[in-house]
Amino acid sequence: MEQQLIIGILAGSLTAIATTPQIVKVIRTKKVDQVSPLMFVILAAGNATWCWYGILLKDWPIIITNAFSLTMDLAMLVLKAIYHKK
């Protein structure tokens, strides 16, 4: 059980922080045209559904890490909207 919790937290932390380098890159370059907005829309929907799954399982690693991922996906979409070439 303890190993399971550690692996879950590690897995969730990795997928949760994955969007961060893309966000940093966009903030630094102010360029988003090659980034697919649909990718982050689907990711956001997926992470929201994983939260729901975690709630059903009462599984905290799934809930917390996916809630963080969802926040980052939405941040990326806001950046896409801000820096998108008019």
Separation CA 10–CA 31 (nearest Å): 31
Helix (H, G, I), strand (E, B) or coil at 84: coil
Token readout for 42 is 């689907």
How far apart are CB 24 and its own copies at their closest, in Å?
8
Binding site for its own copies (CB under 8 A): 3-4, 7-8, 10-22, 24-26, 29, 31-36, 38-40, 42-43, 45-47, 49-50, 52-53, 56-57
How far apart are CB 77 and its own copies at their closest, in Å?
13
Q: Please answer whether residues 65 and 12 qualify as being in contact, where contact means their C-beta atoms are separated by less than 8 angstroms.
A: yes
How far apart are CB 72 and its own copies at their closest, in Å?
10
